[in-house]
Chain A
Amino acid sequence: MKKKSAHMHFIFWLLLFALFFAWPASVLAHVEQGQAIGFITGLEHPWSGLDHVLAMIAVGLWGAQLGNPALWILPVTFPMVMSLGAMMGLLGIPLPGIEIGIAVSAILLGGMVLGEVRPKLYIAAMLVGFFAIFHGHAHGTELPAGQSGLLYSMGFVIATGVLHGIGILMGTIHRWPAGKLALRGAGAFIAAMGFVFLWQAVA
């Protein structure tokens, strides 16, 4: 009986939730070109470059290997410092060797996962934060004209966080011996791809 009542409650809230989403269609005032697209662009952007994707996932994988509190401190550090890097780019402060920095981030973060390196927490956070500046400077400033900067930033930060989350979820296989091995393999792959990115950046 209790279970049935809970089921009915769930259905009620689900329908209420659905009703809430009916709202936007009835609140058109005037067309604001490109506002929502800014969010979608930001959301898509981190997924558009393999270098960024692999480095973000490596942060999550490494965090999962290190366990608490690195598990969440690294993904908290990255977006905050990344936005600092993006701000530098927006202010016009140049950063030399951005592409090389991004490639090296994949090599080093992949290497950390490969070797299951366990430095002190502040060193891990500093390493992740250092490379976040390059990623932010390169990717955080690429807003197409006419789109909302805030919505682009929201999409960009959320997508980056989701990539960390994917890395952390993948990293949960660390609890099994075969999973540990697979994770190190993933680290090796990311590091190898980092060398490819480095080759492309230098060549």
Chain B
Amino acid sequence: MRRTLFNNMLFLLGVIVSAALLLPAKAAAHLVTTGMGPVYDGIGHLLLTPEDLVPAIAMALYAGLRGRAPGRQALFYFPLAWLLGGFIGLGAEIMPSFPLTAISFLLVGILIAADLRLPAHVFAGLAAAVGIMHGFLNGIALKTGPGGLGLLGIMAALFVIVAIISACIVSLKPPWTRIVVRVAGSWVAAMGLLMIGWFFRGQG
């Protein structure tokens, strides 16, 4: 009886703390300084940059939709490609003006919405290409901040994100849950199209 009351109180405390911590707080979208070093700055950068976070989640969703083997492939190819692209970006001088990230929104979003089955090598190539492109842009952005250690933090965070999300999607059994994922993919694709539009409008 006493234990039940304690559990209920703990549960209530959890809900209250969650609600309190959900109160709005300002968060910077790039070159985040966590005060905990460059690795955490890199993690903070990824988590607070929707241009990178959404495609990373989308890639994990697609890997999960494709099943266990592609999920495992993405778990390693995607973060490693991101890191490789990041190191290339650290040495680059020019930031492309076109929002390249819109392409990954569009491409991965359409693949999820269509639930398209790509051959294993094409899927691996896609994960690598998306990873390298985002990593490259991150490398340029992080050059003046956390640098290579920040990229390592991003890679670690990506590993966790892909592992958790793709595993959750692989484990989905009822058909409607896969449909929900496909609907989410259509939203990602729609965001990609709009990003391209905003670029041409000059308000991206």
Q: A residues near B, CB below 8 A?
A: 4, 7-8, 10-11, 14-15, 17-19, 21-32, 35-36, 72, 75-77, 79-80, 82-84, 86-87, 89-91, 140-141, 143, 149-151, 153-154, 156-158, 161
Contacts and interface: CB of A to CB of B under 8 A. Distances in A.
A152 B106 CA distance: 17
Contact of B190 (A4, A26, A32, A80): A80
Contacts of A14: 11, 14-15, 18
B98 to A, nearest CB: 14
A149 B195 contact: yes
A28 B26 contact: yes
B28 A153 contact: no
B174 interface: no
Interface string B171-182: 000000001001
B186 interface: yes
A25 B183 contact: no
A28 B30 CA distance: 10
A91 B200 contact: yes
A10 B14 CA distance: 10
Interface in B164-200: 179, 182-183, 186-187, 189-191, 193-198, 200
A8 B26 contact: no
A22 B128 CA distance: 32
Given A24-B48, A83-B191, A30 B183 contact: no
Interface in B91-117: 113
Contact of A30 (B22, B28, B191, B201): B28
Contact of A18 (B17, B27, B33, B200): B17
Given A86-B193, A149-B194, 10 more contacts: A15-B17, A29-B30, A30-B31, A32-B29, A72-B183, A140-B194, A141-B201, A149-B201, A150-B194, A154-B191
A154 B18 CA distance: 24
B10 A11 contact: yes
A31 B29 CA distance: 9
Contact of A27 (B32, B196, B204): B32
Contact of A80 (B15, B18, B50, B193): B193
Contacts of B15: 14
B83 to A, nearest CB: 22
Contacts of A35: 29
Contacts of B44: 23, 27
Contacts of B200: 90-91
A29 B193 contact: no
Nearest to B48: A27
A27 B43 CA distance: 11
Contacts, number: 139
A90 B196 CA distance: 9
28 contacts: A8-B7, A14-B18, A15-B14, A15-B17, A19-B21, A21-B22, A26-B34, A27-B33, A27-B48, A30-B31, A36-B26, A75-B183, A77-B186, A80-B113, A83-B191, A83-B197, A86-B194, A87-B193, A90-B194, A90-B197, A141-B197, A149-B201, A150-B50, A150-B195, A153-B191, A154-B54, A156-B194, A157-B187
- Most chain-A CB neighbours within 10 Å: which of B10, B15, B189, B198? B198
A5 to B, nearest CB: 11
B21 A22 contact: yes
A32 B190 CA distance: 25
B63 to A, nearest CB: 20
B122 interface: no
Given A29-B28, A29-B33, A35-B29, A153 B195 contact: yes
Contacts of B27: 24, 27-28, 36
B48 to A, nearest CB: 7
